[in-house]
Structure 1
């Protein structure tokens, strides 16, 4: 009798941000993101210079939890979610912990996209979703084994998620997604007329 197992799992964590930590006012968080995007001239200049669609605070602001108290509340919730995910991953952290490395705002307008990338210097990365208008982009995740599959045939259209080369996850506003930082991911083109707003982050081991 055959014994077939799935090995080398790639874990994806999904929950409501409100499942851990304090209650966060969604409208206040969205308003804070848009206010920062409007006032952050350095971030706007970086996006224009680099051809980055919409707005991100990634290259300009490193102190969101200090600037707006609501981001400090977001971080409290994220700390709890990351701890739960690390437990599921069965990390042996020793006398160290997973701590926030950076956190930034993304405002993706109609027609904007974020290309495929990884976060090589972190342990856990993720995003919490602030505004997800109908028809906006799902998150696209890539099988990390894909570069080694040069001669593999394609999979059937209805194959299991664990066997797909790409998996699309459509989060809702208020969701948080976590993954290990080596997992390649991208945001395809936003086909909605309204902005797709999210807050992304990295956690490091120290």
Structure 2
């Protein structure tokens, strides 16, 4: 009798942020994101020079937990989620913990998008969601084997979820998503009239 098994699985972690750590006030976190965006002239300039729609603090600020206590609470919660995900991935961390490398705000207005990318030199990356209005774009994840499929035919539209070349995950406010940093992902165009707000982060090892 033939036997088929799935190999080299790609894991995606999804949980309510409040499952671990202090409870985060979503309205306070949203207000803090807007306050920082309004004052961050260097970030605004970087976005303008690089054609980034809306605002990101990625290239300008590295001290969000110091600026606003709500971000310090957020980091404590994220540390616990990342530790749980690392346990699920069965990483041998050799007695070391994964540590926060960077943390940044993303505010995408209507029509804004973030093209496909990975996070080199990190181990685990992720995002927690602050504002997801109706019509806000889902996170799009790409099968990491795509570049190696060569002459393979496309998948049927009704193929099982684990065999699809792209997976769309529509997160809710207050959720956190984690994945290994080599997984290519993107944020398609925001079709909502209101801002899509998230906080993204990378964790490194050693």
Q: TM-score range by the shorter chain?
A: over 0.9
Match of 2:180 in 1: 180
Structure 1 residue aligned with 2:105: 105
Q: Shift in Å at residue 95 of structure 1? A: 2.1
Q: Could you say what the CA RMSD is over the residues aligned between the two structures, in angstroms?
A: 0.5
* C-alpha distance in 1 between matches for 2:88 and 2:139: 22
Corresponding residue for residue 79 of structure 1? 79
Deviation track 1:68-106 (CA, whole Å, cap 9, x = no partner) reads 010000000000000000000000001211000000000
Q: Which segments of 5 or more consecutive residues in structure 1 lack a partner in the other structure?
A: none
Comparing 158-167 with 65-74, which one deviates more in the overlay? Answer: 158-167
1:159-178, CA deviations, whole angstroms, 9 ceiling, x for partnerless residues? 11211110000000101000
1:116 aligns with 116
Structure 2 unaligned residues grouped into runs of 5+? none
Q: CA deviation at 1:203?
A: 0.1
Matches within 5 A, 1:185-204: 185-204=185-204
Q: Which SS does the other structure have where 1:192 is aligned? A: coil
SS at match of 1:189: coil
CA distance in 2, matches of 1:111, 1:28: 25
Scaled by the length of structure 2, the TM-score of the pair is 0.99
Deviations for 1:18-74, whole angstroms, at most 9, x for unmatched residues?
010011111000000011011100000000001011000000000000000100000
Which stretch shows the higher mean deviation, 148-157 or 15-24? 148-157
Helix, strand or coil at the partner of 1:168: strand
Give the Å deviation of 1:156. Answer: 1.2
Q: Which residue of 2 aligns with 1:95?
A: 95
**1:197 Cα offset (Å):** 0.1
Distance, in Å, in 1 between the alignment partners of 2:158 and 2:99 is: 39
Give the Å deviation of 1:2: 1.3
Runs of 4+ with >4 A deviation: none
Match of residue 153 from structure 1: 153
Aligned residues: 206
Q: Give the Cα–Cα distance (whole angstroms) in 2 for the partners of residues 160 and 38 of structure 1.
A: 44
SS for the counterpart of 2:59 is coil
